[in-house]
Chains A and B, each alone.
Chain A
Amino acid sequence: MKRDMKTWLGIFILILLIVLSIPVVGYAQGSDPTDDDVNTVAKQLYCPVCENIPLDACGTAACEQWRGIIYDKLKEGWTEDQIKDYFVAQYGDRVLAEPPKQGFNWLVYLVPLLVFTGGGFLLYRGFNRWKESAPTTKEGKEILKKEDPSMDKYIERIENELKKRSEGSK
């Protein structure tokens, strides 16, 4: 029974661990790009000069120019990915919100994965070591119930009543 519950729990957790992906909209239109179209792409890029500021929120003249480039490229019919590649070629990997998955950068994704699987494994091993068989006798369960703070006042009352009755019947 324990194994079933563990599997159930494990599957449940696994479902929650599925990546929540942000939908990426591709563009290939010839009509005038709106501010929103530009911002959709700019949101995914970071200012090449001032670190850690997304391109749609940056107020410098340089950032205005970069948004202008996005506007021009969108008008020419470039897709989002093409524009992002262009920015990377011009300014380096740091304009992306995440390191591109190549070469050395694989480490940034790998290490947390290793840490989680390692941690999960250690936890599993730990639980197996820490577990003893659960008490099955009535007294054992009573003792454990007593440790529950929400129940103690109730138990106390019962005991007092029982004591009163046993004394009364003497």
Chain B
Amino acid sequence: MKKILLWGGLTIFLMILGVGLFRSQQAQVNIGEPAPDFELLSFSGERYQLSDLRGKVVVINFWASWCESCKPEAKDLEDAYQFYLSRGDVIFLGVDYVDTEPEALAYLKEFGITYPNGPDLKTSISQAYRIRGVPETFVIDKNGTIAHLQIGPFRSLPEILSVIDPLLD
């Protein structure tokens, strides 16, 4: 009886270490995997559920106001959003990672960003996508699968367009 407890406990302990280690070494959610569902509550109070946006291309951009490398791509993302706006089938969502509201709103104003942005409450979205830092951008195709993963900022507006165009029909 004692032996069962001993070896059982030991096995559980080692499994915890193993699974924990595996988790910590995992990279971001990969291309080809289904995009984890989430709800985003924007700064202006609207709710966005990813699963409701099936059938459209969704660009999820993780950023923060304290993130220096997010700034170069900010304007380009807004321009890309404007470019596809009239089509109606490309959605841009900005997920604000571990940030403070006043600074976040100031950042959005500074770069003139008009697409929906909201805080990543309890960091649940960034945990679901297993991001390693900011900025990271996930482009979801119309079937809800991850089509492109951008680690770090986009280098230019054409680069963003070149990633989204193939996903449109």
Contacts and interface: CB of A to CB of B under 8 A. Distances in A.
Q: Do chains A and B touch in the complex (CB under 8 A)?
A: yes
A91 B100 contact: no
A93 B152 CA distance: 28
Contacts of B135: none
B100 A48 contact: no
A90 interface: yes
A68 B100 contact: yes
Interface in A69-93: 69, 72, 88-93
A65 B123 contact: no
A170 to B, nearest CB: 63
Contact of B123 (A61, A72, A91): A91
B84 interface: no
A69 B66 CA distance: 14
B103 A90 contact: no
Contact of A72 (B66, B102, B122, B124): B102
Give the bracket for the number of chain B residues in contact with chain A: 10 to 19
Give the bracket for the number of chain A residues in contact with chain B: 10 to 19
A65 B121 contact: no
Nearest to A49: B98
B64 interface: yes
A72 B103 CA distance: 12
A90 B66 contact: no
A135 B124 CA distance: 67
Contacts of B64: 62
Contacts of B98: 48-49, 62, 91
A61 B98 CA distance: 12
B122 A92 contact: yes
A66 interface: yes
Interface of B: 64-66, 98-103, 119, 121-124
22 contacts: A48-B123, A60-B66, A62-B66, A62-B98, A62-B99, A65-B65, A65-B66, A65-B103, A66-B100, A68-B100, A68-B102, A68-B103, A69-B100, A69-B101, A69-B102, A72-B102, A88-B122, A89-B121, A90-B119, A91-B98, A91-B123, A93-B122
The 6 tightest CB contacts between A and B, nearest first, are A92-B122, A62-B66, A65-B100, A61-B66, A48-B98, A69-B100
